[in-house]
Amino acid sequence: FSIHELGVTHVLVTGGAGYIGSHAALRLLKDSFRVTIVDNLSRGNIGAVKVLQNLFPDPGRLQFIHADLGDPIAVNRIFAENAFDAVMHFAAVAYVGESTLEPLRYYHNITANTLVVLEAMATHNVKTLIYSSTCATYGEPEKMPITEETPQFPINPYGKAKKMAEDIILDFSKSRKSDMSVMILRYFNVIGSDPEGRLGEAPPPELREHGRISGACFDAALGIIPGLKVKGTDYETADGTCVRDYIDVTDLVDAHVKALNKAERGKVGIYNVGTGRGRSVKEFVEACKKATGVDIKVDYFPRRPGDYAEVYSNPARINRELNWTAQHTELQESLRVAWTWQKKHRSGYADSGRYIF
């Protein structure tokens, strides 16, 4: 890990114990990259890391470092002791609702920590960054679908913190001495899990209320919560519920690997990662009922403040420039795959045995 090796690309995956980060680490390892995961485990799961360690036990394939990106001394030491070729920066708190309750945490964790990572990259001459951003940076666009040229006017601290981090990355990439390869991927609504059932999504129990609709559907199907609360049935959409673009995590990590392979020194790529097709909340709930085989109880409530009617991407640029297209676009199938993992892991990775690091 501490020396550059010809023919081996060593990738630092920040947040690699989290939902998307662990799936990305799995794909990188399958593609013969060398991987270092750095995670403070505040949201990630050591169980996910153990799964990866068991799949790739050979020396020099995978290492896990328990550290906080908010600690510049620790981050600098990690960069000094490891020969990284690229960074995939996933580590972030990522709940819109929570960001309105705890804005300072979001600005610190997302914006300030990205600055720490960039400073370490600059100091230690690591030139390639793949940054995990979000469609929340666009706010409430006037026109659909969203393209990369759609103006960015985020409306919550999560989107604002990500936009600030993007701006810092872009400003640094333009400076004469940076000579960076930068890829910024703005994702839409992530669902699904590893098709072979090795990894899944396991948020901390106290954050379930802020989590994704898929998590709420599965919790309702498992009887963890009594039913599903759908907020807003009077939007100007076909069935009155919100429309979103759901992207399978397997497709998402494929976009990251394609971005890494296409990254060019001194160039910046910005890409929306979505299917280009919007699905309503009602459609999603029906797909979830079919995927789980459970007639989930659904209660309808007034709109949630700050939610917008319709959000979906135009993925033409990433199709054209990275030769990437979403493959897993059957909503019910993505949910069935995720449900298979959820059923076996009612308590998340804790069901895989006790983990010590």
**Which of the residues are catalytic?**
158
Kindly give, in sequence order, each residue whose CB lies less than 8 Å from that of residue 138, ignoring residues fewer than 6 positions away: 146, 150, 151, 152, 153, 154, 159, 186, 311
Residue with tokens 């793949």: 130
Kindly give, in sequence order, each residue whose CB lies less than 8 Å from that of residue 205, ignoring residues fewer than 6 positions away: none
Q: What is the DSSP letter of 293?
A: T
Closest CA to 259 of 330, 186, 206: 186
Q: Which uninterrupted H or E stretch holds 292?
A: helix 281-292
Dihedral sign from CA coordinates of 113, 118, 120, 121: positive
CB 322 within 8 A of CB 19: no
Bridge partner residues of 10 (DSSP):
34
Q: Are strands 10-14 and 86-89 parallel, antiparallel or unpaired?
A: parallel
Q: Are strands 279-280 and 243-244 parallel, antiparallel or unpaired?
A: antiparallel
Start-to-end CA distance of the chain, whole Å, equals: 19
3 state DSSP class of 132: strand
Would you state the torsion angle of the CA atoms of residues 211, 216, 217, 223, taken in this order, to the nearest 10 degrees? 150
Kindly give, in sequence order, each residue whose CB lies less than 8 Å from that of residue 73, ignoring residues fewer than 6 positions away: none
Secondary structure of 206-255 in HEC code, one letter for each residue: HHHHHCCHHHHHHHHHHCCCCCEEEECCCCCCCCCCCEECEEEHHHHHHH
CB 328 within 8 A of CB 251: yes
Q: Which residue type occupies 119? A: E
